[in-house]
A = this chain, B = another copy of it.
Amino acid sequence: MDHTFAVIMAGGSGTRLWPVSRQKHPKHILPLLGERTLFQGTVDRLDGLLSPDHILVVTAAGQARILKKQAPMIPASNFLVEPEPRGTAAVVGLAGMVLRDRDPEAVMLVLPSDHFIRNRDLFQLVMRSAVEIARKDYLVTLGITPTFPATGYGYIQRGKPLLEEAAYPAYRVRKFKEKPTTAQARSMLSDGDHSWNSGMFIWRADRILEEFAHQLPELKRALERIGSAWGTVHQKAVFESVWPGLKTVTIDYGIMEHAERVVVLPAGGLEWSDVGSWDSLFDVLIPDVDGNVVVNSHFMSLDTHNSLVYGGQEKLIVTIGVDDLIIIDTQDAMLVCRKDQAQQVRQVISKLRNSDRNHYL
């Protein structure tokens, strides 16, 4: 895996796992699943695939210090700190420029920092195949084989198989699709030719920059100004003056939907989750005999099933006669939610935002 680099996107600020994740404590920096944080899990997952000095972390000012502490094996100079959030296209473009200058043959794995993948061996096998394909100037996206008609993800429809040999089957992408309705999701699931869009991408740095030149030329030029100052005494000044003026756009919308030579690797069996809500966290954790998942809690139950109980430290949580419930306790806020309504946490967030209780965010 010479010339291979990872770019971990770790600048997010979601509150969908409220009340554990907060504006100032987004989910990737929290030990949601035990000892290690989701960010650390993302780094751990690369162990054996590439060396820590080949990992770039793009993050926000407020998070850089804690992420460096969580991954001390990554050189401090590999942390790129966005002056402010400008969407994933700008992040990928900047990282591409930095990596191409460092290694003209660079292949980059673009990885979110807040996903969960249980099956690390399979992940590495897929990544090795993806890198092989990416070397041939393809833009590779990692698809996740759907296990239910999810409406919370974008989808990727595959076309013909790629003729080039690879350790893992790959397909031309026919179409990227936005988050569907339930009916559309059902139909895509039964068609069998759709994957969830995981937000993981693999490509050569020079190849993606070529695509930027075609599709987002203005953004590309602005990034080149930053790139030409990179590593000089002007780096900080130019970065901080140019970056805030960049167009905010996602890599999916700004590049992928209309790119050439786009390929999908449909991966089943990764046991992947974007951990986008409490019920999706529940789905990837291993339940006890009653179907309950208990994290960080002293727990005692009578007649309790299929519930997620998440607490802290020395507190005892007792449940009686409860099914399919999510119970999340923190120091200053608690959530009790029916599992099939976990998406409604967003509504709670927006009610809090528009109230004098926004200190709970």
A interface with B by C-beta (< 8 Å): 19, 298, 300, 302-303, 311, 314-322, 325, 327, 329, 331-338, 340-342, 344-345, 347-348, 351-352, 357, 360
A320 & B334 in contact (Cβ 8 Å cutoff):
no
A337 & B316 in contact (Cβ 8 Å cutoff):
no
A-B residue pairs in contact (CB < 8 Å), sample of 29? A19-B316, A19-B318, A298-B357, A300-B348, A302-B341, A302-B344, A302-B347, A303-B344, A314-B332, A315-B331, A315-B334, A316-B332, A316-B357, A317-B333, A318-B333, A318-B336, A319-B337, A320-B336, A321-B338, A321-B340, A321-B344, A322-B325, A322-B336, A322-B338, A325-B336, A327-B334, A327-B336, A329-B329, A336-B336
**Chain B residues in 8 Å Cβ range of A318:** 19, 333-337, 348
User: A336 — nearest CB in chain B belongs to which residue?
Assistant: B319
**Chain B residues in 8 Å Cβ range of A331:** 315
Answer whether A321 and B302 are a contact pair too, CB < 8 Å, given A332-B315, A332-B316: no
**Chain B residues in 8 Å Cβ range of A351:** 300
Q: How far is the CB of A129 from chain B (nearest CB, A)?
A: 42
Q: How far is the CB of A325 from chain B (nearest CB, A)?
A: 7
Chain A interface, >50% SS class = strand
Determine the distance from Cα of A276 to Cα of B332 in the docked complex, in whole angstroms: 29
Determine the distance from Cα of A357 to Cα of B299 in the docked complex, in whole angstroms: 11
**Interchain CB contact (< 8 A) of A337 among B320, B333, B338:** B320
Q: How far is the CB of A328 from chain B (nearest CB, A)?
A: 9
**Interchain CB contact (< 8 A) of A303 among B298, B320, B332, B341:** B341
B320 & A338 in contact (Cβ 8 Å cutoff):
yes
**Chain B residues in 8 Å Cβ range of A327:** 334, 336
Determine the distance from Cα of A352 to Cα of B318 in the docked complex, in whole angstroms: 11
A300 & B352 in contact (Cβ 8 Å cutoff):
yes
Contacts beyond the supplied A302-B347, A320-B341, A320-B345: 4 A-B pairs with Cβ under 8 Å: A19-B318, A317-B334, A320-B335, A321-B340
Determine the distance from Cα of A11 to Cα of B88 in the docked complex, in whole angstroms: 66
**Chain B residues in 8 Å Cβ range of A344:** 302-303, 320-321
User: A332 — nearest CB in chain B belongs to which residue?
Assistant: B315
**Chain B residues in 8 Å Cβ range of A334:** 311, 315-318, 327, 329, 334
**Chain B residues in 8 Å Cβ range of A317:** 333-334, 336
Determine the distance from Cα of A319 to Cα of B348 in the docked complex, in whole angstroms: 9
Q: How far is the CB of A20 from chain B (nearest CB, A)?
A: 13
Determine the distance from Cα of A337 to Cα of B325 in the docked complex, in whole angstroms: 11
A348 & B320 in contact (Cβ 8 Å cutoff):
yes
B337 & A321 in contact (Cβ 8 Å cutoff):
yes
Determine the distance from Cα of A345 to Cα of B317 in the docked complex, in whole angstroms: 13
**Interchain CB contact (< 8 A) of A333 among B303, B315, B321, B341:** B315
